[in-house]
Amino acid sequence: MLRHSCAATVGFSGGPLLVRSTHGTCMVAGVRSLAIPNGIGGGAVPSLTITRGLEAMMAETPAL
């Protein structure tokens, strides 16, 4: 779980957590999954965790 300091509110879960690279491009760092009530920030599932999970699922799925 990534902790972030982005302002968010209820209803933003599932949205991308974007970061700007050193080259100025935006990349998805994670998917928002938790907002801190009465505060700024929350938590996000890291994009690498999602990628690894999808790769594992695809490796287990037989080809049709």
Buried b (16+ CB within 10 A) or exposed e, 12-43: beeeebeeeeeeeeeeeebbbbbbeeeeeebb
Tokens representing 13? Answer: 């879960």
What is the model's pLDDT at position 24? 92
Could you say which DSSP state residue 29 is in?
E
Q: What is the pLDDT of residues 9-63, one digit of tens each?
A: 667 788 888 899 899 999 999 998 888 777 778 889 999 999 999 999 888 877 6
Residue 4 scores a pLDDT above 70: yes
